Amino acid sequence: MTFMESGSTQSYKFAYKANHSVIRRCEPLQARGSGDWSGGRRGAGLVAELALVNRHACNDALERLLLVHCGSLCKTKMAAACARVLGKVGWQVLESPSCRPGGISALVRNASLHGSRRACGTGGAGGFRSGVFRAAPLRGGGGVLSCAVLLGGGLGLYQTVKFSVQRLFAEEETKAPRGGLKLTLYQYKTCPFCSKVRAFLDYHGLPYEIVEVNPVMRQEIKWSSYRKVPILMVNDELQLNDSSVIISSLKTYLVSKEKTVMQILQCYPEMKSINDSGKEVTEYNNKYWLMLDQDETQQLYLDKDSQKEEMKWREWADSWLVHLISPNVYRTTGEALASFDYIVREGKFSTFEGFFAKYVGAAAMYIISKRLKRRHNLQDDVRQDLYKAVNSWVAAIGKKKKFMGGDHPNLADLAVYGVLRVMEGLEAFDDMMENTKVKSWYRHMERATLNHKGRN
């Protein structure tokens, strides 16, 4: 039976059978492994045949082929070579004066036989290097329809390859250094400490999954004896607690050439103690240190003063700046309601919990914010303390530097940005941007994290 058998019903039946036939013939290729290019060559022919039959089924077959062989392919060369192959097919069809029955079948058979003859590694030349698609001249009454099917199949194949290559590029861009880590962040989105960790991960282009924790029931972290957030799970096995420990550990891992995350974490032992209220607290006395050797330290910091400055402002963000957030976002009853409306909208609450949190929580936090103001000896107008703190940060950066870290953000930049970011969309944030000199630095930080400028 030729491809263009007379009658739409018969053509449909043939296409249906061909779909399943080609997919079944692609199945064994998946077991061959990435080193067997002969399988990839046959697979390319089968994908081409399937493209002529059904564009959508072609996606499945090509996906199987790419999963097997793209580990050793140079993606840019592969895309260029595929474009050349399709160009040759289209040009040959356009040059053909007429069609004959079975022409397309012959064309596909020759495509399979004269497909890629060379492996295409990331360091080598080539790609899908095509042979000449030798098809007998096409004649007969089905010529126009045959050409249309061929060109449609070619366009379908091109779009599929284009999409797959783009996705592979995206996956490569999100790979973490040193082989990558599977990171899962348990958080409250509006928590400044969680925001610090997200700022670090985003800036360095580290892929991570987020588990939003219900702040009322906290069922998502019931498995953990540590009941605070953020919690970062590494490869579903290793638990990292405390935002500064998480950041210091991961930064050490990114810079260090030899240490594993497990080895690094051992350098940050827990120190349990009883505070003035009689409550047990857990601290990490060296959490602002990076566990690097002398050469690695010199590579990261221009001098010892820059290292000390980074540690000083990281601690300042945790011990002072973060305590200015609540008194400012809950300063008035109206601001408290607006803040809890934002928290409920961005957080994980049931309908009842959201209603309860918005009104009862807003009233409670309005009262608590007054206590916090007294505890931290803040002025009656807590905005002034916020303005003073932010301007002192900008003054420490100076006019000659873009960031505290110079031309690129350091860990202090990321910590301060992460804390301030939780106020976005609230009145306190707008007032801060209008009445301080932080706007330029903040927008630079926003772009740096959004574009993953620290990936390399």
- pLDDT, one tens digit per residue, over 39-85 is 444 444 444 444 444 444 444 444 444 443 343 334 444 444 444 54
Whether the pLDDT of residue 172 is over 50: the answer is no
Of the candidates 369, 393, 392, the one whose C-alpha atom is nearest the C-alpha of residue 380 is 369
Q: Is 193 a catalytic residue?
A: yes
pLDDT digits (tens, 9 = 90+) for 108-166: 444 444 444 333 333 333 333 333 333 344 444 445 545 554 555 565 555 655 555 45
Let me know: does 414 contact 247? Beta carbons within 8 Å.
Answer: yes
d(CA 155, CA 146): 14
Is 188 an annotated catalytic residue?
A: yes
DSSP 376-417: TT--SSHHHHHHHHHHHHHHHH-SS-SBTTBSS--HHHHHHH
User: Taking the model in full, what pTM does it have?
Assistant: 0.62
The first and second tokens of residue 305, run together, are 């003063």
Which two three-digit tokens encode residue 162? 């284009």
The DSSP 8-state label assigned to residue 360 in this structure reads I
Tokens of 22: 């080609």
Could you tell me which residues come within 8 angstroms of residue 24 by beta carbon, excluding any fewer than 6 positions away?
none
Stronger pLDDT, 186 or 10, i.e. the higher one = 186
d(CA 324, CA 392): 14
Work out the angle at residue 66's Cα, subtended by the Cα atoms of residues 116 and 168, and round it to the nearest 5 degrees.
120
Q: How many CA atoms lie within 13 A of 425 on its CB side?
A: 10
* Catalytic entry in 3, 193, 203, 268: 193
Burial class (CB in 10 A: 0-12, 13-18, 19+), 32: middle
* 140 CB-contact burial (10 Å; exposed 0-12 / middle 13-18 / buried 19+): middle
Is residue 191 among the annotated active site residues?
yes
Is 120 a catalytic site residue?
A: no
Stretch 101-108: mean pLDDT, rounded? 45
Q: Which of 58, 74, 120, 191 is catalytic?
A: 191
Helices (H), 259-381: 261-265, 294-300, 304-319, 325-329, 333-346, 351-356, 362-375
Task: Tell me, rounded to whole angstroms, the distance of Cα 95 from its chain centroid.
Answer: 46
- Please check whether residue 412 is in contact with residue 404, taking contact to mean a CB–CB distance below 8 angstroms: yes
Whose tokens are 């970062």? That residue is: 232
Q: Active site residue: 133, 158, 188, 387, which one? A: 188
Q: pLDDT per residue over 347-359, tens digit each?
A: 887 788 888 778 8
Read off φ and ψ for residue 209, nearest 5 degrees: -105, 150
Which of 122-126, 436-440, 449-453 comes out lowest in average pLDDT? 122-126
Q: What mean pLDDT comes out for the span 352-380?
A: 87
State the first-to-last Cα distance of the chain, in angstroms, to the nearest integer.
57
- Annotated active-site residue in 82, 194, 253, 349: 194
Element (H, E) at 211: strand 208-212
Instruction: Tell me the mean pLDDT in the region 412-422.
Output: 98
Question: H-type helices in 124-277, by residue range?
Answer: 143-173, 192-203, 243-255, 261-265
Position 261 pLDDT exceeds 70? yes
| C-beta atoms surrounding 42 within 10 Å | 21
- Report the 10 Å Cβ neighbour count for 226: 14
